[in-house]
Structure 1
Amino acid sequence: MTALPRRFRRREDGSLTIFSLFLFILLLMISGMAVDMVMHERQRVHMQNTLDSAILAAGSLDSGATTEAEMTAMVNDYVAKAGIDPSRITVTPRITGSSSRTISATGRFEIDTIFMGLMGINEMHGGVGGAAEVGEEKVEIVLVLDVSGSMGRDGKIEALRPAAKDFVTEIISKLGADRVSFSVVPYNHQVHVDDDLRSRLDWDDALRTVLPADVAPYPGAITTYAQFNPSSRCARFREADFRNVALTDTARIEGSAMFSGLSGRNLTAYASYPVWAGWCSDSYSRVLLYQNNETDLHNYIDTLQGEGWTSIDYGMNWG
């Protein structure tokens, strides 16, 4: 009788069965946790995608929602149709301008676990959130307008003025005056710069030598001349100046001379020269910079006249 207990104590038959049972229970718990976590992630993705779509729809300028309350109602209606309780969603809308708005929303959810309840975890909680901002960036617009002599014929300048004013009005009404800035560059044979713009640029005022250094001038000869004329409103561009996209305040700009454009004509008196014949004279419209007042822009455009020759390359380079 004593030999049987000793044999039973020494035998190892069936020991793996007990280990396998514990291992099976452990694998069952891990698999159950995976199932519960997949259910949690599926609910999170569903709520996140629904909330993102609702935010984008309510934040759109074409949504029809014109008040913050309407934006909130649109989000709540969107999530309700997706089977989500709107009371679990918190919406924060903000209309910041006629063409700009922001909206954010957060949501919370929970699911009942299936297998994790064996470990005392009966619920899993989660949250989602999103935000959207809609609006145009501040816009700078440059109108490069031909005001040469040909525009003064056949009603061209008369057609240009209302077209330019209508464009200004349309842009300001769409974007708002606080989000847009206009500059106007009228050009004919030159572009006439205003004092503000000229003060920002490095205008070349150096003296230029007329004769080569190794040539002796005759008595009384003019050997140097001033490159910069304080009365000149124009720049003289060289070939290299047209290779750069923008003018900078570090590049030196060569001033253009002021003279009559009617050289060679048989005019007996200076007084008989027409106003438009002056090269870089004060009679031409100057560049208008950084304006967003609709009335001021309209008044300026109404002063444009068609006079002088045409240099499209100068107009585009300044524009």
Structure 2
Amino acid sequence: MKRLLTKTLADTKTTCAHIRRFRRDEEGGMIIFSLFMLVLILALAGMAVDLMRFETTRAKLQGTLDRATLAAADLDQTISPAAVVLDYFEKTDMTRFLQGTPIVDEGINYRIVTANASAEIPTFFFDLPNFLLPDRGPGATALTVSGTSTAEERVSDVEISLVLDVSSSMLSNSRITNLRPAARDFVTTVLANNTDAPQGLITISMIPYSAVVNPGSDITPFLNINRTHSYSTCPLFDDTEFSATDLNLSATYDHVSHFSYGGSSSTPFSDDYAWCYTGDRNSIIVASTDEVALHTAINDLEPYGNTAIDMGMKWAVGLLDPSTQEIITSLAGKSGTGVPALAAGRPYPNTQPDVLKVVVLMTDGQNTQQWDLVEPFKSGLSTVWFNREYEMQPLHEVPSNRTSIQYSGESTPDYRWDDWFYWTGYGSSSRAQRFPNGFSSQSDYVYADSITATYTADASDTDDEAEDKEIENGRLGVRFENDVYNATWQDLYADRTYNKINNTYLNKPYNHYYIPWSDNSWAETDFSSPDSAIDFSVVAGSEADTRLSSICQAARDYGIIIYTVAFEAPSGGRTALQDCASSPSHYFDVDGTDISDAFSAIATDIRALKLTQ
């Protein structure tokens, strides 16, 4: 028994010694630590894989949502917006994730599409801590991916100036024929998204230009014109006007004389060849939403004259500047103007949110000379007198034997005793007289009083008679009670072409030496002469290029987006339009029917597409 007890104690001591040695022994400890760390690293790596799967699914889901809603919100999209969204999810095999039916809110000029999606991503490693710590509960077995996307295409408050070249070169190579449908389609595309309220309004001002711009009957009453005639109204602008976007309605502007350069030599003067058309021919259309009226105006464009891109651009920018609010607000809602009542207050300031101001400028040429009559031909009295057969008889209808040409005494207009006249249609013995044809004697002429009263239209006048009286009031010639009329040079140029003025009135007295050879008054009425009635230096092409560059810079600084279209234009025109455009991508260089593609691209670009959420 004692031996057994002793052996047991010895074994116990041995066991304790082994245990103490094992406790002190550190050999193999890293293996156990490494095993724990390996398990932890694997768990973390697995969780990272789960997170990567989550993020990949989220990005794919959100990308599909964004692409689907953008495509569905496109106003050119003819398929149902909800069907477009569903189609995108089917193509990416994610239909099961789409939550409900896409929400669509749309009007005439806007569409808003919202879609939601959600996906459950099973996890392989994310639940590992819950298995190690069962008292923490069962834990998550999946991660939820949620996404939403809202896309909107909206054309809210947009003010557009469409500037179209109608110079005579547009008659070449079917350019005007190709322009008309392109411009009409542009108008249709842009105005198709219009609405009354509250989603915004699109208005288009159309500015046809040649060597001049005809403001037309809607705008002219708001302009202070230093009138030298009442035939037409095409204002002239000083160089200083092109450094700013505003159009100063309180300023006084000269206007272009009424004359024809080249063109027909018909008698009477044909308005088809007037440097500035009368009435509303080729006139500005202001802030219109009337698609039919704009189409009609485009169809009625009549090319003639030189090219003044700077003048067209000045008007285009001015009609986007708040300085012309008085014009648009006064016309808003009035029948026949095409300006809707909601346009009152336009042009808005460029600081107003959600207002887009756009100029679309087109030319087939380059800046050329801008001409006008010079004094005394612009407003001075001519040397031609008419013995009218009745009151206000048109000058070209007055027979040759009832006209007379003053060839002496012009320098002393208040002293008529010095005057001499050449009576056309009379023989050599009686054609030189001391008084004009229509008076019976020199004394009658010297003491005759000119008529200062003006003609006024009354209720019994026809429209033509009222118009004739209005025109007559604007003439500055001298009239007498016996219907003798001393016409101004402007009267003559508005009645006949220059070669008819020479051949009908001045040629014979000049060749018969009644008008001295040293007197250039006859030669100056011929536009081809060096010292001409036409001033070739009113605005030269190079000066117009400088003015165009200045007004384009002012417009860009103001925040106006400028698209330019060079339509079979020469290098000078292409360079000028490249300089004017907002960026190289806003410049188009096209030929033939490709002009339709350019206008279509611009119309689409104006309707900017954007994600809003």
* TM-score, structure 2 as length reference: 0.36
Q: Deviations over 1:91-131 (max 9, x none)?
A: 43425245643322121111221122222331111112323
What displacement does 1:15 show? 3.3
Q: 1:278 to 1:7 in 2, by over 3 A?
A: closer
Alignment counterpart, residue 294 of structure 1, candidates 269, 291, 295: 291
Q: Which residue of 1 aligns with 2:363?
A: none
The 5 Å alignment of 1:116-265 reads: 116-120=126-130, 121-134=140-153, 138=158, 140-144=160-164, 146=166, 164=180, 166=181, 169-175=184-190, 176=192, 178=194, 180-187=202-209, 190-193=212-215, 228=226, 233-239=233-239, 241=241, 244=243, 247-249=245-247, 255-257=253-255, 261=259
Contact conserved, 2:110 with 2:155, CA < 8 A, in 1?
A: yes
C-alpha distance 81-136 of structure 1, shift in aligned 2 (>3 A)? same
CA contact (8 A) 2:233 2:255 kept: no
Q: Which residue of the partner structure matches residue 105 of structure 1?
A: 115
Alpha carbons of structure 1 residues 112 and 160: separation in structure 2 relative to 1, 3 Å: closer
Encode CA deviations 1:259-292: one digit per residue, 9 max, x unaligned. Answer: 5648xxxxxxxxx995859987964644321112
Q: Number of residues paired by the alignment?
A: 274
The one-character-per-residue Cα deviations of 1:182-216 (angstroms, maximum 9, x if unpaired) are 32334455323358757888x7xxxxxxxxxxxxx
In 2: Cα distance, 1:39 partner to 1:304 partner: 64
CA contact (8 A) 1:40 1:111 kept: yes
SS for the counterpart of 2:127 is helix
1:92/1:193 CA distance change after superposition, 3 Å: same
Corresponding residue for residue 102 of structure 2: 92
Partner SS for 2:124:
coil
Q: Is the 8 A contact 1:146 1:187 kept in 2?
A: yes
2:29 and 2:108 map into 1 onto residues whose CA distance is: 78
Going from structure 1 to structure 2, the CA distance change for 1:297 and 1:112 (only over 3 Å counts) comes to: closer
- Tell me: CA distance 1:144–1:52, structure 2 relative to 1, closer, same or farther (3 Å): closer
| Identity %, equivalent residues | 26
- CA RMSD after TM alignment: 4.7
- Which stretches in structure 1 are left out of the alignment for 5+ residues? 204-226, 263-271
Q: 1:47 to 1:170 in 2, by over 3 A?
A: same
- Paired residue secondary structure (1:31): helix
Distance 2:42 2:66 in 1: 36
Distance 1:103 1:27, change over 3 A: same
| TM-score computed with the length of structure 1 as normaliser | 0.62
CA-CA distance at 1:79 after TM superposition:
2.0
Corresponding residue number in structure 2 for 1:16: 30
Distance in 2 separating the partners of 1:88 and 1:295: 44
2:184–2:298 CA contact under 8 A, matched in 1: no
- Matched residue, 1:217: none
Q: Name which one, 1 or 2, has greater alpha-carbon Rg.
A: 2
Shift in alpha-carbon separation, 1:50–1:275, aligned structure 2, 3 A:
closer
CA distance in 1, matches of 2:36, 2:178: 88
d(CA) in 2 for partners of 1:32, 1:162: 66
Q: Distance in 1 between matches of 2:252 and 2:167?
A: 23
CA distance in 2, matches of 1:188, 1:313: 8
Q: Residues of 1 paired with 2:274 and 2:87: CA distance?
A: 69
CA distance in structure 1 between the partners assigned to 2:277 and 2:184 by the alignment:
31
Say which structure, 1 or 2, has more relative contact order (CA 8 Å, 6+ apart): 1
Change in Cα spacing, 1:29 to 1:251, as seen in structure 2 (3 Å) is farther
Aligned residues of 2:214 and 2:233 also touching (Cα < 8 A): yes
